[in-house]
């Protein structure tokens, strides 16, 4: 897919104020600092579209970006970062769950996990919740530039093994790097096929 335009539309802390124009939405979710905002900039080829930071907890609101004037990318706050204050964590998770539960045009949720880490309970539990609630999702292993090929492949196999404890098959997954553009074509093609 060729990205011809990517525009910031709005940021919300109140889900009822999110766009109501019935366009397809693809949202990016995952632990704080996993690289959601960076990936959005890489996919849309717009540096600075979504705000990024080396400090976790940068994205605090639900952010809608209109792509090719046709569909939305949604950047969400991160979940599960220990250093974020408890009430902030609760606010983020309330916002995330109310977003997921109230958006009829949410076509797919991309759940991002850092490819360097072992499967984390928070992510695995979250995916389980998505499954139980019938929310379509796929996984993106981020920051692939930080690992050698063999280690990356070992880590993904370990992830697969963990998920196959509860899932009959592995959900669709992608490997990405916001630094070198890995995964861009695959993710955009997936969006095009499902849009
Ligand atoms: P929150 O908004 O806080 O939840 O974080 P986020 O998931 O949006 O992460 P963000 O995109 O802000 O990136 C966090 C840090 O990771 C930044 O310092 C990025 O430069 C870095 N980063 C993100 N993606 C990659 C990647 O693919 N490779 C490398 N090497 N660094 C990355
Ligand atoms: Mg962010």
- pLDDT for 91 beyond 60: yes
63 lines ligand 1 (CB under 6 A): no
User: What b/e sequence results for 27-58 when a residue is b if at least 16 CB atoms lie within 10 Å of its CB, and e otherwise?
Assistant: bbbbbbbbbbbbbbbbbbebeebbebeeebbb
The answer to whether position 83 is within a domain reads yes
108 lines ligand 1 (CB under 6 A): no
Question: Helix, strand or coil for residue 51?
Answer: coil
ipTM: 0.99
The answer, as to whether pTM is greater than 0.90, is yes
- pLDDT for 90 beyond 90: no
Q: How many domains does the chain have?
A: 1
- pLDDT over 90 percentage in the chain: 75
- pLDDT for 4 beyond 70: yes
Could you give the CA distance from residue 119 to residue 117 in angstroms, rounded to a whole number? 6
The answer to whether position 62 is within a domain reads yes
From the CA of 61, how far away is ligand 2's center (Å)? 9
pLDDT of residue 166: 85
From the CA of 171, how far away is ligand 2's center (Å)? 23
The answer to whether position 146 is within a domain reads yes
51 lines ligand 1 (CB under 6 A): no
Nearest to 50 by CA among 17, 11, 20: 11
Average the pLDDT over 34-53 and give the result. 95
Average the pLDDT over 147-153 and give the result. 96
160: containing domain:
6-194
The answer to whether position 101 is within a domain reads yes
Least confident of 112-116, 127-131, 185-189: 127-131
Q: What is the mean pLDDT of the chain?
A: 92
Which is more confidently placed, 141 or 78? 141
* CATH number of the domain where residue 183 is located: 3.40.50.300
- pLDDT for 100 beyond 70: yes
The answer to whether position 187 is within a domain reads yes
The answer to whether position 1 is within a domain reads no
Could you give the CA distance from residue 51 to residue 134 in angstroms, rounded to a whole number? 30
Q: Which of 28, 33, 63, 77 to mutate to test the pocket of ligand 1 (most atoms within 8 A of CB)?
A: 33
- pLDDT for 62 beyond 60: yes
Looking at ligand 1, which atom is closest to the CA of residue 56? Answer: 3
pLDDT of residue 82: 57
User: Residues 6 or more apart from 66 whose CB is under 8 A from it?
Assistant: 5, 6, 7, 9, 23, 72
Q: Which of 38, 85, 141, 181 to mutate to test the pocket of ligand 1 (most atoms within 8 A of CB)?
A: 38
């Amino acid at each position: 897919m060729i990205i011809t335009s990517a525009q910031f539309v709005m940021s919300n802390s109140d889900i009822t104020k999110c766009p109501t124009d019935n366009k397809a939405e693809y949202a990016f979710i995952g632990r704080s600092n996993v690289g959601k905002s960076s990936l959005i900039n890489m996919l849309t080829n717009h540096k600075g579209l979504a705000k990024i930071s080396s400090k976790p907890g940068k994205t605090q609101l639900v952010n809608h970006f209109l792509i090719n004037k046709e569909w939305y990318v949604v950047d969400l706050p991160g979940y599960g970062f220990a250093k974020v204050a408890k009430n902030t964590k609760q606010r983020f998770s309330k916002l995330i769950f109310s977003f997921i539960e109230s958006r009829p045009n949410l076509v797919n949720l991309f759940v991002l996990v850092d490819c360097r880490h072992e499967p984390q309970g928070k992510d695995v539990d979250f995916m389980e919740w998505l499954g139980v609630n019938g929310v379509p999702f796929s996984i993106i292993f981020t920051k692939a530039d930080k690992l050698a090929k063999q280690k990356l492949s070992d880590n993904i196999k370990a992830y697969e093994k963990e998920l196959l404890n509860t899932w009959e098959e592995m959900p669709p997954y992608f490997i990405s790097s916001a630094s070198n553009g890995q995964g861009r074509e695959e993710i955009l093609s997936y969006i095009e096929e499902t849009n």
